[in-house]
């Protein structure tokens, strides 16, 4: 069946016939945009206002929280410094009155569209394993990414573009391509990287010297040979996936260049997103956000946009040395285009059935590293969602008064994944794939809960 249908998932056929298995329930959205801030944005300097940090400035965490020092040290990447107040000012925005720092003045205008989750908890405090965990549900390489699981469960809305697309502004994020890998799922479910500059996909244009009739004849001959080979080896999943990839590549020669052509957008849209900005890095992320909107409206099921690569701490949100310099530069790059994207999706009616997720792999400490930076902290951080089915302008969970630990409504990464699947109509306990003698799931075998409180 996989060879005969290529990249069309069984779910597509069942949906067409109105016969869905128990894995499905009424979805609130049908597509996902994941905005991944590599190396962790500081929650206490962005969306999680903690005025008590100023009151306890210069104290150690154990002294301020009146708790055991060892229990605090054990969760850090290094020995924690002293408490450091946020150098950024916070203001209230929107009817919800949510406080946002001066880092994100344009995103702050959209707080009434956002659903804040202030009680996120991670498992790994080193970037590579933490990125694996947020992207795949497991701390070690080799498991399918969440985008792969979603396309496996729901299939594709378009035959002419990949179901899962990845965009990066500064090269590979920590842990590299495993963040969008298919793991043990069929190869057609891996993410396809669109380049941020030049042609979105290399060798997308057909070779010169061949007319349309010659190209068609070549594809037909290749399809005939592939079908004969597959008939002799019907159980080779990699072969059927490669055939589907070739077929998709042929269709993409017609559709992908048009979708990736940002010149089709109006000058007003370019100004809105900031693609006309003179700073190359800022303009690149702006173009990626605009590209993401075009991909989503053309049927791509899951799009991931990465802010930050892994070359060094100045290339991502890791603020060990100088928080103000690091976060100011990175925020300047993402604030305008993300705000534009939220507004644009809402105006087009797409936010109603698109789930936008903003997150990193963990957060930073409320304490200093050196005199001006912050270290890694897995005990509490903030993510937010926006889109269909979410409670707009709502905040769920909380960290303690210093922003160190999640103390109310803890949301671990399996819970986060279960909630995302639920929004798409998928039950995280039923969505599975038999591999190596075990029914595998995105959320693993440990109990995971859907955070129903954030749904409208």
Question: Would 367 be classed as within a structural domain?
Answer: no
Asked if 362 contacts 411 with a C-beta cutoff of 8 angstroms, the reply is no
Q: Which residues pair with 419 in a beta bridge?
A: none
Phi/psi at 118 (nearest 5 deg)?
-90, 5
Helix (H, G, I), strand (E, B) or coil at 426: strand
Question: Would 386 be classed as within a structural domain?
Answer: no
User: What is the structure's pLDDT at 93?
Assistant: 98
Q: How far apart are CA 210 and CA 220, in angstroms?
A: 15
Question: Would 286 be classed as within a structural domain?
Answer: yes
User: What is the structure's pLDDT at 246?
Assistant: 63
Question: Would 136 be classed as within a structural domain?
Answer: no
Specify the pTM: 0.88
User: What is the structure's pLDDT at 279?
Assistant: 81
Q: Which residues pair with 92 in a beta bridge?
A: 99
Buried b (16+ CB within 10 A) or exposed e, 237-270: eebbbebbbebbbbebeebbeebbeeeeeeeeeb
Q: How far apart are CA 58 and CA 449, in angstroms?
A: 38
pLDDT in tens, the chain (456 residues): 333 333 334 444 444 444 444 456 899 999 999 999 999 899 999 999 999 999 999 999 888 887 776 667 666 667 778 999 999 999 999 999 999 999 999 999 999 999 999 999 999 999 999 999 999 999 999 999 999 999 999 999 998 899 999 999 988 998 899 999 999 999 889 999 998 777 777 666 666 677 778 777 877 787 788 778 778 877 666 666 666 666 676 677 667 788 889 999 999 999 999 999 888 778 999 999 999 999 999 999 999 999 998 766 568 999 999 999 999 999 999 999 999 999 999 999 999 999 999 999 999 999 999 889 999 999 999 999 999 899 999 999 999 999 999 999 999 999 999 999 999 999 999 999 999 999 999 999 889 999 999 999
Question: Would 157 be classed as within a structural domain?
Answer: yes
Question: Would 99 be classed as within a structural domain?
Answer: no
User: What is the structure's pLDDT at 8?
Assistant: 38
Q: How far apart are CA 428 and CA 146, in angstroms?
A: 11
Question: Would 433 be classed as within a structural domain?
Answer: no
Q: How far apart are CA 440 and CA 422, in angstroms?
A: 17
Q: Domain span at residue 216?
A: 1-28+147-318
How many domains does the structure of the chain reveal? Answer: 1
Q: How far apart are CA 185 and CA 124, in angstroms?
A: 24
User: What is the structure's pLDDT at 213?
Assistant: 82
Question: Would 412 be classed as within a structural domain?
Answer: no
Strand locations in 203-324 (E): 302-307
What's the CA angle centered on 212, arms 209 and 218, to 5 degrees? 85
Q: How far apart are CA 116 and CA 46, in angstroms?
A: 12
Q: What is the dihedral of CA 244, 8, 184, 123, to 10 degrees?
A: 130
Helix 413-423 and helix 146-154, axial crossing angle in degrees, nearest 10: 30
């Amino acid at each position: 069946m996989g060879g005969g249908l290529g990249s069309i998932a069984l779910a597509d056929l069942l949906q067409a016939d109105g016969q869905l298995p128990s894995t499905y329930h009424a979805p609130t959205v049908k597509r996902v945009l994941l905005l991944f801030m590599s190396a962790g944005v500081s929650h206490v300097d962005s969306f999680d206002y903690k005025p008590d940090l100023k009151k306890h400035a210069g104290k150690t965490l154990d002294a301020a929280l009146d708790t055991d020092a060892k229990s605090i040290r054990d969760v850090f990447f290094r020995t924690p410094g002293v408490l450091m107040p946020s150098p950024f000012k916070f203001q209230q925005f929107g009817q919800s009155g949510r406080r946002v720092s001066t880092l994100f003045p344009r995103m702050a205008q959209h707080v009434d569209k956002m659903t804040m989750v202030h009680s996120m908890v991670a498992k790994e405090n080193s970037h590579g394993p933490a990125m694996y965990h947020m992207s795949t549900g497991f701390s070690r390489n080799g498991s399918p990414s969440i985008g792969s699981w979603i396309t496996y469960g729901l299939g594709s809305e378009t035959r002419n573009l990949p179901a899962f697309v990845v965009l990066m502004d500064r090269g590979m994020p920590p842990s590299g391509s495993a963040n969008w890998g298919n793991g043990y799922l069929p190869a057609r479910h891996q993410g396809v990287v669109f380049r941020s500059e030049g042609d979105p996909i290399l060798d997308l244009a057909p070779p010169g010297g061949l007319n349309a009739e010659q190209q068609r004849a070549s594809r037909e001959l290749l399809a005939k040979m592939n079908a004969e080979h597959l008939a002799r080896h019907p159980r080779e999943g990699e072969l059927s996936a490669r055939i589907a990839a070739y077929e998709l590549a042929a269709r993409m020669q017609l559709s992908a260049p048009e979708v990736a052509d940002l010149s089709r957008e109006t000058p007003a849209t370019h100004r809105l997103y900031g693609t006309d900005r003179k700073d190359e890095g800022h303009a690149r992320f702006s173009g990626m956000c605009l590209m993401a909107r075009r991909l989503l409206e053309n049927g791509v099921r899951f799009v991931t946009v990465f802010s930050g690569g892994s070359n060094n701490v100045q290339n991502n949100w890791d603020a060990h040395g100088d928080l103000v310099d690091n976060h100011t530069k990175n925020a300047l790059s993402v604030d305008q285009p993300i705000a534009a994207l939220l507004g644009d999706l809402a105006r087009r009616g797409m936010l109603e059935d698109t789930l936008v997720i903003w997150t990193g792999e963990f957060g930073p400490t409320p304490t200093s590293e050196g005199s001006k930076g912050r270290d890694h902290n897995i005990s509490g951080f903030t993510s937010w969602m926006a889109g269909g089915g979410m409670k707009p302008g709502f905040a769920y969970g909380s960290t303690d008064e210093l922003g160190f630990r999640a103390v109310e409504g803890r949301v671990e990464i399996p819970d986060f994944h279960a909630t995302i699947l639920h929004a798409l109509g998928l039950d995280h306990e039923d969505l599975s794939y038999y591999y190596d003698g075990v029914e595998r799931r995105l959320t693993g075998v440990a109990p995971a809960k859907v955070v129903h409180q954030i749904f409208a």
